[in-house]
Amino acid sequence: MINTARRGGPSLPQRRVLRTELPGPRSRELLQRKTAAVAAGVGITLPVFVQAAGGGVVVDVDDNVLIDLGSGIAVTTIGNSAPAVVAAVTDQIVRFSHTCFMITPYSGYVEVAEELNRLTPGDHAKATALFNSGAEAVENAIKIARRHTGRPAVVAFDHAYHGRTNLTMALTAKVQPYKDGFGPFAPEIYRVPASYPLRDGLSGEQAAERAIGMIEKQIGADHLAAMIIEPIQGEGGFVVPAPGFLSALAGWAGDHGVVFIADEIQTGFARTGDLFACEHEGVVPDLITTAKGIAGGLPLSAVTGRAEIMNSVHVGGLGGTYGGSPVACAAALAALRTYVDQELTRRARELESIILAELSGLRDDPRVGEIRGRGAMIGLEIVDPDGRPDPELTGRIVAAVHAQGVILLTCGSFGNVIRLLPPLTIPDDLLREALGVLRGAFRTA
Ligand SMILES: *Cc1c(COP(=O)(O)O)cnc(C)c1O
């Protein structure tokens, strides 16, 4: 029997409790059923099955209470089952659950579009289209850029992650696990070096010059529809580009009629201490893709951008059965209000200070190549004595942290970056406790 009596949300007791080893007996039983019933390709980071979550904790089916440093990959930024989202979803679902916006529309979709047009960087005229997943938003941003420019080519960057559909696999850099055996991939995608200060030692201007030089020689600006980049790379390793890199690329794109797309699917919505990571350098993208944190855990994504680009697509050229579901839109309106009303950008900066203070002792640890990131998006790159990526050590540290009841994710092209993505609702003392567990794992690993 699985215990489903608990409700989630921020009123869950905010403390770590380990009643069994992890995973406990009920989770192990479910894991067996998962193995028998679910396609093997769907992997699991930490096999504890969840019964409730909220604030900064996740309660598993064995009544263990884990501290959440992952937010379901930067999704539950305002906390799991945030009361405003629960209320909005409940109110919507009893009125109607679906009509398809393209058949008979509803106001929630329009209101989300208005909010995103208002909140995203730049005060130019904007338009928005809604979809279901991040990958779908990226696909549509590319469709729109190609339609607008009449050009075929798209530039993506080393260490990029843009999704798992065919076009977005082509944009994604890392073969394992995302692309291996899944080709052929979409054509006219070109990859150029990004800015990776720890590994390339280049200034932002130098890194941009290198990328632009390759683009001009190997593709030609006249053939290029779009350049897509994560302002801080997510899956690729929480790589923060050197200052000036993004603005130099955006400037070059603007000069050559290339659509500059910021993929803020992971960095968006207060995560980095600004509402969008682009704002840190004053970069105004032509198009911006959002998802993850947009709707408090419900599946929703968006492309928002310059009205003349967005509106270059013929009627019927964009859409989908579920895109901008009324339930997801209701959740998004509640979530977007929460980001603004609760000044969660400030909260993200507070979490950054706590994280950096708690981990300051690791800065001199030779196994830590770099601690980087912004706001509540901080990564630790783990290296061997020669400064090379050490995924094996990374795995041991993370396993030790998991065993202590802290949910922690990794990333990086070499799997050697520990990434911290706590919900912004995590209480300070709980975050400190989790970081203490992480420090302890460095001592024993
Ligand atoms: C997660 C992510 C995606 C893909 O989003 P899905 O909802 O998983 O399709 C795309 N881009 C970035 C930067 C992401 O972090």
Torsion of CA 361, 363, 367, 373, to 10 degrees: 120
Q: Does the structure show a pLDDT above 70 at 3?
A: no
pLDDT tens sequence across 41-85: 999 999 999 999 999 999 999 999 999 999 999 999 999 999 999
Asked if residue 3 belongs to a domain, the reply is no
Domain boundary among 341, 366, 392: 341
Check pocket membership of 263 for ligand 1, CB cut-off 6 A. Answer: yes
Check pocket membership of 133 for ligand 1, CB cut-off 6 A. Answer: yes
Dist CA 97 CA 91 (whole Å)? 10
Residue 1, pLDDT score: 40
Asked if residue 312 belongs to a domain, the reply is yes
Q: How many CB atoms lie within 10 A of CB 42?
A: 7
Q: Which residues of 111-137 are buried (b: 16+ CB within 10 A; e: fewer)?
A: ebbebbbebbbbeeebbbbbbbbbbbb
The parent domain of residue 96 ranges over: 85-341
Dist CA 132 CA 328 (whole Å)? 9
Classify 67 as helix, strand or coil: strand
Residue with CA closest to ligand 1 atom 11 = 162
* 410 against 6, higher pLDDT: 410
The CATH number assigned to the domain holding 349 equals 3.90.1150.10
pLDDT tens sequence across 102-120: 999 999 999 999 999 999 9
Q: Which H helix or E strand runs over 127?
A: strand 126-131
Q: Are residues 214 and 142 in the same domain?
A: yes
Asked if residue 4 belongs to a domain, the reply is no
Residue 6, pLDDT score: 75
Residue with CA closest to ligand 1 atom 6 = 134
Place of tokens 């970056």: 417
Instruction: Judge if pTM exceeds 0.75.
Output: yes
Tokens standing for 99? 């009509």
Peptide bond into 13 cis (omega under 30): no
Q: Are residues 60 and 156 in the same domain?
A: no
Q: Are residues 337 and 386 in the same domain?
A: no
* Mean pLDDT of all residues in 1-24: 85
Identify the DSSP state of 247.
H
Residue 5, pLDDT score: 52
pLDDT tens sequence across 25-38: 999 999 999 999 99
Dist CA 317 CA 434 (whole Å)? 47
Q: Does the structure show a pLDDT above 90 at 318?
A: yes
Q: Are residues 364 and 349 in the same domain?
A: yes
**How many Å lie between the centroid of ligand 1 and the Cα of residue 116?**
18
Q: Does the structure show a pLDDT above 90 at 351?
A: yes
Q: Are residues 355 and 304 in the same domain?
A: no
Residue 74, pLDDT score: 98
Dist CA 128 CA 117 (whole Å)? 7
Residue 2, pLDDT score: 46
Dist CA 416 CA 156 (whole Å)? 22
Q: Are residues 96 and 217 in the same domain?
A: yes
**How many Å lie between the centroid of ligand 1 and the Cα of residue 25?**
33
* Mean pLDDT of all residues in 224-233: 98
Check pocket membership of 134 for ligand 1, CB cut-off 6 A. Answer: yes
**How many Å lie between the centroid of ligand 1 and the Cα of residue 24?**
31
Share of the chain above pLDDT 70, in %: 99
pLDDT tens sequence across 392-420: 999 999 999 999 999 999 999 999 999 99
Number of structural domains in the chain: 2
Domain boundary among 324, 341, 358: 341
Torsion region of 420: left, alpha or beta (phi above 0 gives left; psi -120 to 50 gives alpha): beta
Place of tokens 């955006």: 250
Classify 64 as helix, strand or coil: coil
Backbone angles phi, psi at 334, to 5 degrees: -65, -40
Mutate to test the pocket of ligand 1, among 161, 232, 419 (most ligand atoms within 8 A of CB): 161
Residue with CA closest to ligand 1 atom 15 = 266
Classify 117 as helix, strand or coil: helix
Domain boundary among 325, 341, 357: 341
Which CA distances in Å does 170 have to 223, 307, 377, 414?
18, 27, 25, 19
Dist CA 68 CA 345 (whole Å)? 19
Q: Are residues 313 and 357 in the same domain?
A: no
Among candidates 134, 104, 140, 138, which has minimal Cα distance to 319?
140
Orientation of helix 326-341 relative to helix 107-119, angle to 10°: 30
**How many Å lie between the centroid of ligand 1 and the Cα of residue 291?**
7
Check pocket membership of 161 for ligand 1, CB cut-off 6 A. Answer: yes
Q: Are residues 177 and 248 in the same domain?
A: yes
Spell out the residues 6+ positions from residue 161 whose beta carbon is closer than 8 angstroms to its own.
Answer: 172, 173, 174, 178, 230, 233, 234, 235, 236
Strand order across the beta sheet in which 224-229 lies:
126-131, 301-306, 287-290, 259-263, 224-229, 153-157, 189-192
Q: Are residues 120 and 235 in the same domain?
A: yes
Q: Are residues 157 and 16 in the same domain?
A: no
- CB of 276 within 8 A of CB of 268? yes
Asked if residue 183 belongs to a domain, the reply is yes
Mean pLDDT of the chain: 97
The CATH number assigned to the domain holding 109 equals 3.40.640.10
pLDDT tens sequence across 186-208: 999 999 999 999 999 999 999 99
* Mean pLDDT of all residues in 294-302: 98
Q: Are residues 32 and 98 in the same domain?
A: no
Q: Which H helix or E strand runs over 87?
A: helix 83-95
Asked if residue 2 belongs to a domain, the reply is no
Q: Are residues 301 and 244 in the same domain?
A: yes
**How many Å lie between the centroid of ligand 1 and the Cα of residue 156?**
14
